[in-house]
Amino acid sequence: MWAGLGLALVLCLLPGGGTEHRGRCKEPPEWSIGEENPMMTSRGSVTVVALLQANLQLKLASNGLVNISFIVVNHQGHHSQLKYQLLREKVSEDIPVYQQNATQPDVWATLRGRKDDFLIYDRCGRLVYHLELPYTFLSFPYVEKAIHIAYCEDTCGNCSYTTPEIGEICKRISENPEEKQIEAASHNFLTLSWRAPIFLKVTRAAVGRQRG
């Protein structure tokens, strides 16, 4: 139902970085894996750069949010490299899993990230939300709601990748009883400033846990 729509949800897992330093509604620092720039090639579509299982993709697809590109970037450390195959087996075959090259700049460091954070970008590659633990647990409604907002609202202004059918699709989604429950559960939290005390940069741009 969300076919042809784009938004970029980067799940590069940063459990503590201050989103205000990255800049709301700005594109992320340039990063690449080998010769490939995943963020550039996914421009115009929903993109999830993550370091976790594919549960989120399956849940979103079951609710009609398809055409979301998921990308998994494994940590650059030696221990994580040894567990690459295990990570690969936990992720859907449709999701590419990138292993960083030790000789290249660390993607996590470039995005000021750590494990289990979500960076959500709009269709034009601008940061809308940055979520961290514990709010990135999929048992909470915040991740899904943040994606809905990035999909349906022009938080960062107009984007040339937005298509006419988005309005109708978002209307149908908003009228779904399950979506109304998600809205009720996450409304107050998501309308805070984009950085909150515990972490979840998910308010208009993010809510995050303060780093000690």
Q: If pLDDT is split at 50, 70 and 90, which confidence band does 210 have?
A: very low
Q: If pLDDT is split at 50, 70 and 90, which confidence band does 46 have?
A: low
Helix residue ranges, H only, the chain:
19-22, 38-41, 55-62, 78-82, 84-90, 107-110, 142-152, 166-174, 177-190
User: What residues does each domain of the chain span?
Assistant: 7-209
Class of domain 7-209: alpha beta
Rounded mean pLDDT of 162-181?
74
Q: Which amino acid is at 1?
A: M
Q: If pLDDT is split at 50, 70 and 90, which confidence band does 133 have?
A: confident
Rounded mean pLDDT of 156-165?
86
List Cα–Cα distances, 122 to 63, 79, 155, in angstroms: 19, 33, 9
DSSP, res 30: P
Residue 153 host element (H or E): none
pLDDT at residue 135 in the model: 81
pLDDT at residue 181 in the model: 56
Query: What are the phi and psi torsion angles at 128 (to 5°)?
Result: -110, -45
Are β-strands 97-99 and 118-122 bridged in parallel, bridged antiparallel, or unpaired? unpaired
